[in-house]
Amino acid sequence: MTQETQNVLLSVEDLRTWYELRKWGFFHAGYVKAVDGVTFDLRHGQAITIVGESGSGKTTLAKTLLGLVPPTGGRMDLAGHRYDSERVKWLRFLFKQSERAAWRNKRERRTWIRAKVGFVQQDPYGALAPFMNVRKILAEPLTIHRVPKHDQEERIRAVMEEVRLTPSEDFINKYAHMLSGGQQQRLVIARSIVLEPELLIADEPVSMLDASVRVEILQLLRRIQESHDLGVIYITHDLSTVRYFSEYVFVMYAAKLVEKAEVSELIHNPRHPYTQALLTAISDPDPDNARVFKDVPKGEPPSLAHPPSGCRFHPRCKRFMADLCDVQMPVSFEPVAGHQVECWLYR
Amino acid sequence: MKSVLRTLKTLRQYPSAIAGLAIVGFLVGVSIYTMIAIPYSEAIRLWRGGAGVWDENPRNAAPVWYDLLTRDSLSRTIKVTSQGEGEKTITPLGDGMVRLQVTLPFDFSYDTFPSEITLYSQATYEDTRTKFSLTWVRPSGTETVLVTDRSMRSSDGYYISQDAQLQTGRVAPQIGLFSDWSLSPGDTDRVPEKGRYELILETVIPEGYEFETKLLVYGQIHGFAGTDNVRRDISVAMLWGAPLALMFGLLGAVGANVTTFVLAGIGTWLGGFVDALFQRLTQLNMLLPLLPILIMIGQFYSRSLWLMLGVVIVLSVFSASMLTYRAMFLQAKEAPYIEAAQAYGASNTRIIFKYLLPRIVPVLLPQFVLVIPAFVFLEASLAVLGLGDPLLPTWGKLISDARSADALYMGHYYWMIQPAVALMLTGFGFALIGYALDRIFNPRLRTM
């Protein structure tokens, strides 16, 4: 157990990210709870997938972990360093010396975290500044983290080799719009690993790519993960790409992780009714599908500003149990070792 | 830097842009030449110098290019001095006095009469009034005695063309003296006699003293831009107007537009309090009337060009374009590459200046180029409103002077047209470049 705790790269406990809703610009009018009580551990070199529909809070979770959005509550530890909600308090920063020192320390902590976490975005073209060439794009993170100029070039060539943007001479002076979609995404991956992070967060990295390059990109990510012993959080809405990648799958529904299991376990024995529905919805290229009616859950994902009481899936659930599911929030059950599910069916 | 060079290369594809660049290049060339050839202090001297500086210029003379438009060759100013072409004969009279005869010869070969004739004299003796007589000799040999025994101070000017005694009928002295003397006073249809004229001055002065004299036969054309009603050479203002206009336009555009741009970027990125503050300032500032404020400052404080520029810049930093830029930045700041930059630790300053601003520069650049002439015109408008710099020779000041002297009514149209054309040319040049840049940076216009 001790060894396992030592091995933990990212530890998240009861993480909440709520966006405040305001009426007329200043009256408090409730929260949109985009991430609400997420708990998980990620070990060094472990790849996990977070799967969920649009609006389930996946991207907010990613942004919170990256420190782009301040969390409302909970705890995040990256390799033993905690990073919490922090806001730059403008005026106080301007006037108080002690505040300034404290802020500077916080900033240092934050840049440290940012060097340790890489980010691969969904839209590769949008993720690359249109007015920078490849060299500049890759040099920016290095410059920000004060890597000397003469070491930068070497590092840039190395990552370009790694993501197979070779020969690097052909690409290094090009602009993003001169590259194909696959090349752009490889460049985004190169940028995310140029600081040699320990954790990579990939937010739907292939959803905007042609089907032909998806597998290639996922295999590239997998190869990089293995060769650098990276922890990877792969966020997707598409269960069919999961198996290329990770050992563990978390299913996210309405700001919560409702099921956590190993990939094969989850695919063969889905426990949560929502996971079961998701798996049914996967489209395989099978001609029979044309005649089969898929039993997808009725209704729409719930509003995060006013989530349903009790289990958030209960209004769409086929195995809804009255007076339990709609009243009490389900706790985590472990029907099989290593397979956690938040559903009253497994109490 | 590379992208700027690339853009300049693309500009070559647009003939209008080449024309615009040529105009602006010409203006820049003129400015550089002017600042080297006529240093600032010299320009101020020539512009504000007073009567002594402008004595040798004709009054209200047309520019020399006007000669090309007329069939007759227009007279130019002729200056003969006793030290130069003149001949001095000194005959001693005894009693410490000498008789001095000065002959001032000059060739006159123009088809029109001179505008004025003046004789200046300068002697080293003081307090003594002497008498002199003048004889005018025409090419045909006829002589006219202008004055006899006219008394003269040591430093004096005799305005021959204004001497009423020399006027014959309705024929002014300068016409009578340059035309056939045998014509009757009623005959006003005269042509100048061409050839060698002489003015012979005879006087008696104390021995051992110097006496110099200078004859000015003012022409009808002068310099490439003509002169105004106080004999000031308009070309000084035409030349110095170029660097001043460019400087005012450029400083105004940089000061107001670029500052607005940067502040809009900062406000939009930081959001919250800063953004709100900038927006409120903009809304407040848009209510302030620029022109009345400038008029008040001009009336009560100073009309210095640079002060006006400063006030204009300060008042246009938080202008309506702030809101336009803000709208663009609000869109640009949501770009994923900026989120990525935050994720790899870029500071706010870096994000604003390296990620946010460069994105909008292509939109700014054509606007920036188009704003330059707007500021040049603003300077002219201020001058016409009477808020022009009292010291500096600017195009706007020329228009203002011409207007107050009723130049168009009096027929001195060149006085007003020349600076107006210069202003329009400047605007035209920058507009051509600006619209070409707009077409390059805004691809939607390309197909149209």
Residue B56 lies in a domain: no
pLDDT at A1: 40
Contact B107/A at CB under 8 A: no
Q: Which residue of B has its CA nearest to A195?
A: B344
Q: In what order do the strands lie in the sheet with B143-152?
A: B87-94, B97-108, B195-206, B130-137, B143-152
Dihedral angle computed from the Cα positions of residues B314, B316, B318 and B321, in that order, rounded to the nearest 10 degrees: -160
- B98-113 mean pLDDT: 89
Residue B53 lies in a domain: no
Residue B66 lies in a domain: no
**Are B244 and B378 part of one and the same domain?**
yes
- B259-277 mean pLDDT: 90
Spell out the alpha helix ranges (H) of chain A: 2-6, 58-66, 90-95, 97-116, 134-144, 149-162, 168-171, 181-193, 211-228, 263-268, 273-281
The residues, ordered by sequence, that sit 6+ positions from B340 with a Cβ below 8 Å of its Cβ are: A119, A121, A127, A188, A191
- A16-22 mean pLDDT: 84
What pLDDT band is residue A88 in, cutting at 50, 70 and 90? very low
How far apart are alpha carbons B326 and B413 in whole angstroms?
A: 46
pLDDT at A286: 72
Out of A194-203, B8-17, B62-71, B184-193, least confident range = B184-193
**Cβ–Cβ gap A117/B343 under 8 Å:** yes
Residue A92 lies in a domain: no
pLDDT at A328: 85
In this predicted complex, what is the ipTM? 0.85
**Cβ–Cβ gap A127/B341 under 8 Å:** no
Residue A90 lies in a domain: no
Residue A91 lies in a domain: no
- The mean of the pLDDT values for chain A is 82
Contact A130/B at CB under 8 A: yes
Rg of chain A in Å (alpha carbons): 22
- B315-333 mean pLDDT: 89
C-alpha to C-alpha distances, B220 to A15, A286, B149, B404, nearest whole angstrom: 91, 99, 31, 22
**Which one-letter DSSP state was computed for residue B194?**
P
The residues, ordered by sequence, that sit 6+ positions from B287 with a Cβ below 8 Å of its Cβ are: none
Residue type, B35: M
The residues, ordered by sequence, that sit 6+ positions from A20 with a Cβ below 8 Å of its Cβ are: A28, A30, A31
**Are B257 and B352 part of one and the same domain?**
yes
Residue A229 lies in a domain: yes
Q: In what order do the strands lie in the sheet with A81-82?
A: A27-43, A8-23, A73-78, A81-82
Q: Which residue of B has its CA nearest to A129?
A: B337
User: Which helix H or strand E contains B369, and what residues bound it?
Assistant: helix B357-382
How far apart are alpha carbons B251 and B375 in whole angstroms?
A: 9
| CATH code of residue B100 | 2.60.120
* Closest to A236 measured CA to CA, from A278, A199, A202: A202
Residues of chain A positioned with their CB less than 8 A from the CB of B359:
129-131
Contact B336/A at CB under 8 A: yes
DSSP secondary structure of B249-310: HHHHIIIIIIHHHHHHHHHHHH-HHHHHHHHHHHHHHHHS-HHHHHHHHHHHT---HHHHHH
Question: Residue A280: which domain range?
Answer: 2-85+97-346
Residues of chain B positioned with their CB less than 8 A from the CB of A68:
339, 342-343
**Are B185 and B267 part of one and the same domain?**
no
pLDDT digit string (tens) for A276-303? 888 887 766 677 767 767 667 777 778 8
Question: Residue B320: which domain range?
Answer: 2-47+232-447
Residue B61 lies in a domain: no
Tokens (6 digits) for A150:
């003469």
**Which one-letter DSSP state was computed for residue B333?**
T
From A66, A128, A144, residue closest to B346, measured CB to CB: A144
**Are B246 and B203 part of one and the same domain?**
no
**Which one-letter DSSP state was computed for residue A341?**
E
pLDDT at B51: 65
Instruction: Chain B: give the shortest CA distance to residue A5, in Å.
Output: 26
Between B423 and A73, name the one with better pLDDT.
Answer: B423
Spell out the alpha helix ranges (H) of B152-233: 173-178
Q: Residue A103 pLDDT more than 60?
A: no
- A312-323 mean pLDDT: 84
**Are B313 and B392 part of one and the same domain?**
yes
Q: Residue A92 pLDDT more than 50?
A: no
The residues, ordered by sequence, that sit 6+ positions from B314 with a Cβ below 8 Å of its Cβ are: none
- CB atoms under 10 Å from CB of B231, counted, come to 19
CB of A44 closer than 8 Å to CB of A9? yes
Instruction: Chain A: give the shortest CA distance to residue B16, in Å.
Output: 27
Read off φ and ψ for residue A46, nearest 5 degrees.
-100, 140
The residues, ordered by sequence, that sit 6+ positions from A215 with a Cβ below 8 Å of its Cβ are: A244
CB of B173 closer than 8 Å to CB of B93? no
In chain B, the number of structural domains is 2
3-state secondary structure (DSSP) of residue B361 = helix
% of chain A at pLDDT higher than 90: 13
| CATH code of residue A46 | 3.40.50.300
Residue A191 lies in a domain: yes
Mutate to test the interface with A, among B337, B347, B356, B360 (most CBs of A within 10 A): B337
In chain A, the number of structural domains is 1
| CATH code of residue B349 | 1.10.3720
- B201-226 mean pLDDT: 86
**Are B127 and B248 part of one and the same domain?**
no
The residues, ordered by sequence, that sit 6+ positions from B295 with a Cβ below 8 Å of its Cβ are: B385, B387
**Cβ–Cβ gap A90/B274 under 8 Å:** yes
**Are B307 and B363 part of one and the same domain?**
yes
pLDDT digit string (tens) for B10-20? 778 888 888 99
CB of B308 closer than 8 Å to CB of B392? no
Out of B290-294, B347-351, B362-366, least confident range = B362-366
**Are B278 and B424 part of one and the same domain?**
yes
Contact A119/B at CB under 8 A: yes
* Closest to A327 measured CA to CA, from A309, A342, A315: A309
**Are B209 and B331 part of one and the same domain?**
no
Residue A255 lies in a domain: yes
Instruction: Chain A: give the shortest CA distance to residue B320, in Å.
Output: 23
Last residue of a domain, one of B160, B194, B218: B218
How far apart are alpha carbons A37 and A15 in whole angstroms?
A: 5
Residue B65 lies in a domain: no
**Cβ–Cβ gap A191/B340 under 8 Å:** yes
Strand bridging mode B130-137 / B195-206: antiparallel
The residues, ordered by sequence, that sit 6+ positions from B148 with a Cβ below 8 Å of its Cβ are: B133
How far apart are alpha carbons A103 and A10 in whole angstroms?
A: 24
CB of B117 closer than 8 Å to CB of B218? yes
Residues of chain A positioned with their CB less than 8 A from the CB of B333:
none
**Are B190 and B144 part of one and the same domain?**
yes
Q: Distance between the two ends of chain B, CA-based, in angstroms?
A: 29
Residue B52 lies in a domain: no
**Cβ–Cβ gap B344/A119 under 8 Å:** yes
**Cβ–Cβ gap A114/B345 under 8 Å:** yes
Residues of chain B positioned with their CB less than 8 A from the CB of A121:
336, 339-340
Residue B309 lies in a domain: yes
pLDDT digit string (tens) for B119-173? 988 888 776 677 888 899 988 888 888 888 888 887 888 888 888 888 877 788 8
Rg of chain B in Å (alpha carbons): 31
**Are B349 and B410 part of one and the same domain?**
yes
Q: Which residue of A has its CA nearest to B359?
A: A131
Last residue of a domain, one of B158, B186, B218: B218
pLDDT digit string (tens) for B331-351? 888 889 998 988 888 888 899
Read off φ and ψ for residue A11, nearest 5 degrees.
-125, 120
Mutate to test the interface with B, among A144, A187, A189, A193 (most CBs of B within 10 A): A144
**Are B131 and B105 part of one and the same domain?**
yes
Sign of the torsion formed by the C-alpha atoms of A224, A229, A235 and A236: positive
pLDDT at A4: 54
Residues of chain B positioned with their CB less than 8 A from the CB of A128:
337
Q: Residue A130 pLDDT more than 80?
A: yes
Contact B443/A at CB under 8 A: no
**Could you tell me how many CB contacts below 8 A there are between chain A and chain B?**
64
Last residue of a domain, one of B179, B196, B218: B218
CB of A186 closer than 8 Å to CB of A164? yes
Q: Which residue of B has its CA nearest to A202?
A: B340
What pLDDT band is residue A192 in, cutting at 50, 70 and 90? very high
